A and B are shown apart, each in its own frame.
Chain A
Amino acid sequence: MTAPHRPDPDDLASALLDGLLDADEAEAARRDPAVVARVAALAAARDALATPPPPPDAAGRERAIAGALAAFDAETSATDDDAIAADARPSAPPRPFDHATPLARPAPGGAAGRGRGRRTARTERWVRWLGAAAAVVLVVAGVSLLARGDGSDDADTAATSEEVSSGEGGAGSEAEGSADADDDAARDEAAESADQGAEGQLAPGEVLDLGAAESPDALADRARSTLAAERGIADVPVTEPEVGAAPDTTDPVPGDEGQGGAAPEQMSEPLACPTGEATANARGGSVDLRARARLDGQPVEVWVIDVAGSRTVLAVDADCAVILDRPLPG
């Protein structure tokens, strides 16, 4: 004979909670104290699972957000610097809501106030970082500019050295201290180079106007004076113009610039006759001077040719016929 089946109290209680029992079964279950006790326990578990926690009100939500932000700020800024760490360190363990401050109206000195202080500190750190980055950029740019200046100012340096040796480069030497001064000195040196030429070397195509001469001797003297004055060649003596060979008042007088005379005019039109260059090539020399002049009222073209240090003045008439070929006087 088997014992009568006794239903599980949990099964009966669960079924009673869900209304699965008919009236007789439910009445029988309610008479069983074990089932009644389990009904209460299972109902509590069911309600705990089915009931979500009530959402906080708006003020509570703001306090929770402020508290979370304050805790995050304290966490992230604790290791930045001692002052911020001291400010962020609470005197008691932080509690999620007690020290929270509403976001809408933060209390001075409260969590939001400390948050403002930390934000200010973060801003200052950013400013320091930006300052350091700007300094690095300036240093790199300055070094690159200096490096570029060293590479491109060799000619300037050489020209400055020449000026110093000739007693004219004091200002240029003093101007080497800054980039602007370097630029000014470079412009000055370029202008002086244009005035003086480079060691007697004639610029390609440069043609001067010697003015009028009454005789071949006067023309030769004019060429010598012009070469000495305009090319700065030390071994060409400068002599006073010959008496009676003075140019007319309408023509510039080479070598008389310091006395109020005009400098020889530079002419852009090249000479018509190739005689000077051909002669220089044939003699193995170079052309020191190209010029136009008037000899006895007739236009002539003049060259000074340097052959191994010995200079010759060469002149041709309008038909490129040689009318003067003699050593440079003096």
Chain B
Amino acid sequence: MGATSGAAVEAVADRLDVDAAVARLPDDFRAAVVLRDLCDLDYAEIARVLDIPAGTVRSRIARGRAQLADLLGNPTDPDGRPSTRP
């Protein structure tokens, strides 16, 4: 019972961390990432919703995911380059 409760607490805490990290993303990146990974829209739908080119959608999703990974403590860049991106 205690282990189950601890896991639940940890899951809630993780979710709070994810929400805080998403809130720190720039608006353009956040919108693209949320529509893709949370709302499960494809690139064409995101382009239509945000009224931007599909290439821009791809770029914003890639940059948004990278910033989110850095904010969540996953600096796995093997080159050791700075994790913050514009």
Q: Shortest CB–CB separation between residue B74 and chain A, in angstroms?
A: 4
Q: Shortest CB–CB separation between residue A243 and chain B, in angstroms?
A: 119
How many chain B residues have a CB neighbour from A under 8 Å?
A: 35
The residues of A that contact B50 with a CB separation of less than 8 Å are none
B70: nearest chain-A partner, CB-CB: A41
Q: Shortest CB–CB separation between residue B84 and chain A, in angstroms?
A: 12
User: Which B1-21 residues sit within 8 Å CB-CB of chain A?
Assistant: 2, 4-5, 8-9, 11-12, 14-15, 18
Interface of B is mostly: helix
The residues of A that contact B5 with a CB separation of less than 8 Å are 60, 63, 97-98
A57 to B5, CA, bound (A): 10
A225 within 8 A of B: no
Interchain CB contact under 8 A, A11 and B37: no
The residues of B that contact A8 with a CB separation of less than 8 Å are 62
**Contact among B11, B12, B66, B75 for A42, CB-based, below 8 A:** B66
A50 within 8 A of B: yes
**Contact among B37, B59, B72 for A50, CB-based, below 8 A:** B37
A14 within 8 A of B: yes
Q: Which of A17, A40, A46 has the most CB of B within 10 A?
A: A46
A46 to B62, CA, bound (A): 11
Interchain CB contact under 8 A, B58 and A14: yes
The residues of A that contact B72 with a CB separation of less than 8 Å are 44-45, 48
Interchain CB contact under 8 A, A46 and B65: yes
Interchain CB contact under 8 A, A54 and B11: yes
The stretch from A31-39, A124-132, A153-161 touching chain B is A31-39
The residues of A that contact B63 with a CB separation of less than 8 Å are 10
A15 within 8 A of B: yes
The residues of A that contact B76 with a CB separation of less than 8 Å are 37-38, 40-41
A58 within 8 A of B: no
The residues of B that contact A60 with a CB separation of less than 8 Å are 4-5, 8
Q: Can you list the 6 inter-chain pairs with the closest CB atoms, starting with the nearest?
A: A14-B62, A53-B11, A45-B69, A10-B66, A41-B69, A41-B76
